[in-house]
Amino acid sequence: MKFSAPKGMQDILPPDIYIWQNVEEVARELFHKYGFQEIRVPIVESTDIFIRSIGETTDIVEKEMYTFTDKGGRSITLRPEGTAPVVRCYVEHNLYNLPSPQKFFYTGAMFRYERPQKGRFRQFYQIGAEAFGVSQPSLDAEIIVMLKNLLEKIGIAGLNFELNSIGCDKCRPDYKNALLKFFKSKLAIYCPDCQRRYRTNPLRILDCKVPGCVELRKGAPYVKDYLCNDCREHFNELIFSLKELKIPYTLNPNLVRGLDYYTRTTFEVTSEHLGAQKAVAAGGRYDRLVEEFGGPPTPAMGFAIGMERLATLLKEKSEQKIPSPKVFIATLGRDAEMEGFKIAESIRSSGCWIEPNYGGASLKSQMRKADRIGAEFVLIIGDNELKAGKVQWKNLKNSQQGEVEIKDIASIIQKLSDYIPK
Ligand code: HAM
């Protein structure tokens, strides 16, 4: 019987994993400079946390959550995203008592029971960042700049930053009413999902990808015309900062996002190279959520990057370097093998990837193996070498070879490494 990974879930293997590790390393280093500290939250939370934050009538909560009852009868959900758990953590640990802003980042698996397709998985990974305690649009700008810097640092440029403001509790009701009025006359010819959205969250109709609905919504009222003074000022200042910082962006009045917790700024970073699932990262403000979770009123803003989509872009962009061992130690006989292990240990401490021989094979087949695994350098130890206290070495890239005393190996590591093309 042969098993395969669950539908919509995948294994991340070498060499792809090196792309992921590099992104995570660069992100850690960069986020740190902006004051974002790593936190780890559980992979499951009480189901209510997601219902209360993402919204009862969203696709995620209605159709996509992996929810189960645990042995204690509690309803538990595999996290479909990271913002709600981070807010729960922020409030639970009274982190609002610490000096503002508090900034956090996280990496990890998220789960959504979606229809799998290119760039859309049921288990996927995000790197997310969330900042608490600043209402000024300078935070929005800083977070967007940080994301742009990260993408550039890992080698992705030319992505599209789409931007919108969806207002606040004060002005959004007026906008919703305007939309309801606009959609009402033709409601019967919208897709069934949009007919449902009309009742539950009419803003989401703006986000529908069904061609008929896209056509029908032409001429729908723009949210920017309904923003209250505070929201308009916030948005204008953000745009001003982005211009000052020379961050290109496009305004997308239909960017309403599929999660209900957003207020004011919403944004998405998209690529034309990804097909239908073109958002590499997305985020926005959620100024009400901390309060909703029982904390004091605390403005907040964040984003999350989809790792699979990012990895796809990086893979398309450049040929992947597949790491291989620097040194293979070929040994003949048990004593030589033991000596080989000792030598391997001393060389590893210099930071090289060393592969020893695990016994049995002829020298010829060991040399073939060294070549196949891409080793750059072979050390050869046999009975004669052991007696003489020496090791033969061969550089497989340029065929240089020679002999060195075993006792000198550690001290000449650096010299040996000189023969190893970096
Ligand atoms: P989101 O737009 O649902 O936002 O997801 C963020 C990113 O995760 C997407 O842009 C996409 O790259 C990736 N993603 C989402 N679903 C999938 C999937 N099924 N398969 C592969 N990749 C996927 C959030 O999750 C918010 N928590 C972002 C945020 C943080 N807002 C404020 N702070």
Domain that holds residue 139: 16-171+227-317
Mutate to test the pocket of ligand 1, among 259, 285, 313 (most ligand atoms within 8 A of CB): 259
Share of the chain above pLDDT 90, in %: 78
Q: What mean pLDDT is predicted for residues 341-370?
A: 90
Give pLDDT tens digits for 4-44: 999 999 999 999 999 999 999 999 999 999 999 999 999 99
On whether both 28 and 138 belong to a single domain, the answer is yes
Per the domain annotation, does 137 fall within a domain?
A: yes
Mutate to test the pocket of ligand 1, among 309, 312, 313 (most ligand atoms within 8 A of CB): 309
Count of alpha carbons within 13 Å of 351, Cβ hemisphere only? Answer: 3
On whether both 249 and 292 belong to a single domain, the answer is yes
On whether both 279 and 332 belong to a single domain, the answer is no
On whether both 27 and 98 belong to a single domain, the answer is yes
On whether both 310 and 331 belong to a single domain, the answer is no
Per the domain annotation, does 143 fall within a domain?
A: yes
Mutate to test the pocket of ligand 1, among 12, 124, 252, 263 (most ligand atoms within 8 A of CB): 124
Selection from 99, 165, 166 nearest residue 133 by Cα = 99
List Cβ neighbours of 232 (8 Å cut-off, separation of 6 or more). Answer: 165, 224
Residue 401 φ then ψ, to 5°: -150, 170
On whether both 288 and 357 belong to a single domain, the answer is no
Assess whether the C-beta atom of 390 lies below 6 angstroms from ligand 1.
no
Per the domain annotation, does 195 fall within a domain?
A: no
Cα 282 to averaged position of ligand 1 atoms, centre (Å): 6
Structure tokens at 274: 């990804």
On whether both 270 and 398 belong to a single domain, the answer is no
Assess whether the C-beta atom of 284 lies below 6 angstroms from ligand 1.
yes
CA distances from 97 to 94, 122, 288, 353 (A): 6, 37, 17, 47
- Tell me: pLDDT of 417 over 90: no
Domain end position, chosen among 277, 295, 317: 317
Q: What mean pLDDT is predicted for residues 184-213?
A: 89
Contact assessment for residue 250 and residue 162, using Cβ atoms and an 8 Å cutoff: yes
Per the domain annotation, does 331 fall within a domain?
A: yes
Assess whether the C-beta atom of 282 lies below 6 angstroms from ligand 1.
yes
| pLDDT on residue 129 | 98
What is the residue type of 297? P
Structure tokens at 17: 């994993």
Structure tokens at 44: 């499951």
Q: Residue 414: which pLDDT band, with cuts at 50, 70 and 90?
A: low
Q: Give CA torsion, residues 255, 261, 267, 268, to 10 deg.
A: -80
Question: Which residues, listed in sequence order, are joined to residue 385 by a DSSP beta bridge?
Answer: none
The atom number, within ligand 1, closest to the CA of 120 reads: 20
- Tell me: pLDDT of 298 over 50: yes
How far apart are the C-alpha atoms of 46 and 85, rounded to whole Å?
Answer: 9
- Tell me: pLDDT of 216 over 90: no
Helix axes 137-153, 229-244, angle to 10 degrees: 40
Assess whether the C-beta atom of 81 lies below 6 angstroms from ligand 1.
yes
Selection from 270, 264, 299, 300 nearest residue 282 by Cα = 270
How far apart are the C-alpha atoms of 123 and 111, rounded to whole Å?
Answer: 5
Which pTM does this prediction carry? Answer: 0.93
CATH number, domain with residue 396 = 3.40.50.800
Structure tokens at 151: 């993408």
Cα 258 to averaged position of ligand 1 atoms, centre (Å): 10
What is the residue type of 418? D
Cα 89 to averaged position of ligand 1 atoms, centre (Å): 19
Assess whether the C-beta atom of 126 lies below 6 angstroms from ligand 1.
yes
| pLDDT on residue 394 | 92
Q: What mean pLDDT is predicted for residues 292-304?
A: 98
Per the domain annotation, does 361 fall within a domain?
A: yes
On whether both 397 and 249 belong to a single domain, the answer is no
| Least confident among 104-118, 151-165, 174-188, 402-416 | 402-416
| Least confident among 53-57, 72-76, 378-382, 410-414 | 410-414
End-to-end CA distance of the chain: 44
| pLDDT on residue 410 | 65
- Domains contained in the chain, number: 2
What is the residue type of 289? L
Structure tokens at 222: 């723009």
Q: What mean pLDDT is predicted for residues 315-328?
A: 85
| pLDDT on residue 207 | 84
| pLDDT on residue 266 | 97
Count of alpha carbons within 13 Å of 388, Cβ hemisphere only? Answer: 12
- Tell me: pLDDT of 418 over 60: no
CA angle in degrees (0–180, nearest 5) for 67-125-253: 90
Q: Whose CA is nearest to atom 16 of ligand 1?
A: 120
Secondary structure of the chain in the HEC alphabet?
Answer: CCCCCCCCCCCCCCCHHHHHHHHHHHHHHHHHHCCCEECCCCCEEEHHHHHHHHCCCCHHHHHHCEEEECCCCCEEEECCCCHHHHHHHHHHCCHHHCCCCEEEEEEEEEECCCCCECCECCEEEEEEEEEECCCCHHHHHHHHHHHHHHHHHCCCCCCEEEEEECCCCCCHHHHHHHHHHHHHCCHHHCCHHHHHHHHHCHHHHHHCCCHHHHHHCCCCCCHHHHCCHHHHHHHHHHHHHHHHCCCCCEECCCCCCCCCCCEEEEEEEECHHHCCCCEEEEEEECCCHHHHCCCCCCCEEEEEEEHHHHHHHHHHHCCCCCCCCCEEEEECCHHHHHHHHHHHHHHHCCCCCEEECCCCCCHHHHHHHHHHCCCCEEEEECHHHHHHCEEEEEECCCCCEEEEEHHHHHHHHHHHHHCCCC
CATH number, domain with residue 245 = 3.30.930.10
Give pLDDT tens digits for 72-129: 999 999 999 999 999 999 999 999 999 999 999 999 999 999 999 999 999 999 999 9
On whether both 308 and 350 belong to a single domain, the answer is no
Per the domain annotation, does 193 fall within a domain?
A: no
How far apart are the C-alpha atoms of 379 and 330, rounded to whole Å?
Answer: 6
Assess whether the C-beta atom of 306 lies below 6 angstroms from ligand 1.
yes
- Tell me: pLDDT of 412 over 90: no
Assess whether the C-beta atom of 179 lies below 6 angstroms from ligand 1.
no
Selection from 89, 13, 103 nearest residue 301 by Cα = 103
On whether both 64 and 153 belong to a single domain, the answer is yes
Domain end position, chosen among 299, 317, 335: 317
Assess whether the C-beta atom of 120 lies below 6 angstroms from ligand 1.
yes
Domain end position, chosen among 285, 317, 349: 317
- Antiparallel, parallel or unpaired: β 250-251 and 75-78: unpaired
- Tell me: pLDDT of 419 over 90: no
Per the domain annotation, does 244 fall within a domain?
A: yes
Most confident of 127-131, 277-281, 390-394: 127-131
Average pLDDT, the chain: 93
- Tell me: pLDDT of 158 over 50: yes
Assess whether the C-beta atom of 278 lies below 6 angstroms from ligand 1.
no
- Tell me: pLDDT of 350 over 80: no
Q: Whose CA is nearest to atom 31 of ligand 1?
A: 283
Q: What mean pLDDT is predicted for residues 173-190?
A: 91
On whether both 258 and 362 belong to a single domain, the answer is no
Place of tokens 């000596």: 339
Per the domain annotation, does 129 fall within a domain?
A: yes
Q: Residue 421: which pLDDT band, with cuts at 50, 70 and 90?
A: very low
On whether both 69 and 152 belong to a single domain, the answer is yes
Cα 339 to averaged position of ligand 1 atoms, centre (Å): 52
- Tell me: pLDDT of 411 over 80: no
Mutate to test the pocket of ligand 1, among 126, 207, 257 (most ligand atoms within 8 A of CB): 126
